Amino acid sequence: MSPSSELRNNGVVKNVGEAPQEELATGERSTRNRIARSVLDHGPSTAADLAKRLGLTQAAVRRHLDSLVAENVVEPREQRVYGARTRGRPAKVFALTDCGRDAFDQSYDKLAADALHWISQAAGGGEKGEAAVTAFARARFAAQAGAYREAVGAAAPEERTEALARALSDDGYAATARSAPVGEQLCQHHCPVAHVAEQYPQLCEAETEFFSELLGTHVQRLATIAHGDGVCTTFIPRSGTAQTTHSASASTAGRNPA
């Protein structure tokens, strides 16, 4: 499912009541929707980041963020720092809450979770049940593989991660690729199955295996929305630094490494 281009008011209103008429008349709600959408597309963001992206003043952004926090659409967090921490207090970033994510698309989480539970129990539960869910997750990605293989295969080796990010974005994952020490990071700022993946990490594991197969290299999942992070982050090493086995790829997929 692709996220809608605008935050549905009913996804927020169900928690906070109807938006005042003066908000609708002055465009306040529209601006807040733009801010929430920017956080969805780019991940946890500072007020300064949002102001620059949207052409607003930081004071205006902070005012709207205060309202979005009150509506339980976004929440403030301490910015995560990878590598050596610099001096000074970490910047405050704002990330979507579960309520905020749900407002962007129709949720079929319970149906999906019930279906996976049925698959697990029909296979006998326990290890057999987990194996059945894993088989389903792998088959799901195999069924979607064609467009992804075409996109990645048509790209130059150094542009394959970016090509994968674009293909994922076309399917609603709001993905980006960025440089990282000794490699790249593939970031998915939205996950339509995040709530189900909390219960069934096999979905994350199968996705990580799929990325490894597509890119022809070992990859490592660093963070997942399903486990409370603001972004699903996958590390792809540069050619020559990758391990050749795929088993390590799945070992941490869906489970944040320490």
The per-residue pLDDT for 219 is 96
* Nearest by Cα to 31 from 12, 54, 15: 54
pLDDT above 70 as % of the chain: 76
Average the pLDDT over 53-70 and give the result. Answer: 93
Nearest to 179 by CA among 165, 190, 194, 189: 165
> Is the distance from CB of 256 to CB of 229 less than 8 angstroms?
yes
Average pLDDT, the chain: 80
CB atoms within 10 A of CB 119: 15
pLDDT in tens, 168-185: 988 888 899 999 889 999
Does pLDDT of 89 surpass 80?
no
Task: Find out whether 237 and 217 touch, Cβ atoms under 8 Å.
Answer: yes
* Least confident piece of the model among 26-35, 147-156, 158-167: 26-35
Single-letter code of the amino acid located at 107: S
**Cβ contacts of 82 within 8 Å, gap of 6 or more:** none
Cα 122-248-209 angle, rounded to 5 deg: 55
pLDDT, one tens digit per residue, over 9-19 is: 433 333 333 34
Confidence of residue 258 (pLDDT cuts 50, 70, 90): very low
In 55-159, alpha helices (H): 58-70, 98-102, 109-122, 126-143, 145-153
Asked if the model's pLDDT at residue 252 lies above 50, the reply is: no
The first and second tokens of residue 141, run together, are 């990605």
pTM above 0.85, yes or no: no
Does 3 have pLDDT greater than 80? no
What is the per-residue pLDDT for 88? 58
Specify whether the CB–CB gap between 68 and 32 falls below 8 A: yes
Q: What is the DSSP letter of 87?
A: S
